């Protein structure tokens, strides 16, 4: 009986382990951060700003250099090519030695990029780019 329970537990845990970060860790190459590590709060913040039509929301959006759009137009970017370009542009903008993995939100033709692993101090840096990723449109330190 006990052997059956052990076998059932191993069988039940197999899909979880097969898809876990332990088995498939994120590489050191630039790209997207897995969604599970926290892009949702940033997306919810921007969606909330898009629903509001007050002066404070407009000021916040202008500091991020993003237009006021419908909240459903705030989307996560998971395309590895776009994430790699954004990670390299993020590192260039901050003069970092290496590119990290990044979260990207697409907001009205602009890309809001956050690297949760980049911590030279206790502040989080959010950089807005256009689709060329050639130069930052805004750098916000939170």
Question: What is the DSSP-derived secondary structure letter of residue 129?
Answer: E
Q: pLDDT tens for residues 41-91? A: 888 889 999 999 899 999 999 999 999 999 999 999 988 899 999 999 999
Query: In the prediction, which pLDDT does 131 show?
Result: 92
Tell me whether residue 60 is exposed, middle or buried, using C-beta atoms within 10 angstroms of its C-beta: 0 to 12, 13 to 18, 19 or more.
middle
Backbone angles phi, psi at 57, to 5 degrees: -65, -45
Residues 115-119 have a mean pLDDT of 72
As a whole number of angstroms, the distance between CA 88 and CA 134 comes to 10
As a whole number of angstroms, the distance between CA 142 and CA 64 comes to 11
As a whole number of angstroms, the distance between CA 131 and CA 9 comes to 48
Residue with tokens 């890309």: 111
Task: Compute the mean pLDDT over every residue in the chain, rounded to the nearest whole number.
Answer: 79
pTM of the model: 0.73
Question: What is the DSSP-derived secondary structure letter of residue 33?
Answer: P
């Amino acid at each position: 009986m006990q052997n059956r329970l052990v076998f059932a537990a191993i069988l039940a845990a197999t899909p979880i382990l097969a898809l876990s970060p332990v088995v498939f860790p994120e590489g050191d190459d630039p790209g997207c951060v897995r969604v599970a590590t926290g892009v949702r709060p940033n997306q919810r913040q921007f969606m909330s700003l898009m629903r509001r039509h007050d002066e404070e929301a407009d000021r916040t959006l202008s500091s991020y250099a993003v237009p006021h759009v419908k909240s459903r137009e705030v989307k996560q970017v998971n395309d590895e090519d776009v994430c790699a370009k954004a990670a390299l542009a993020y590192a260039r903008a901050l003069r970092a030695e290496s590119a990290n993995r990044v979260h990207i939100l697409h907001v009205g033709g602009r890309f809001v990029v956050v690297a949760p692993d980049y911590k030279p101090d206790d502040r989080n840096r959010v950089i807005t780019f256009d689709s060329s990723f050639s130069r930052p449109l805004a750098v916000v330190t939170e």
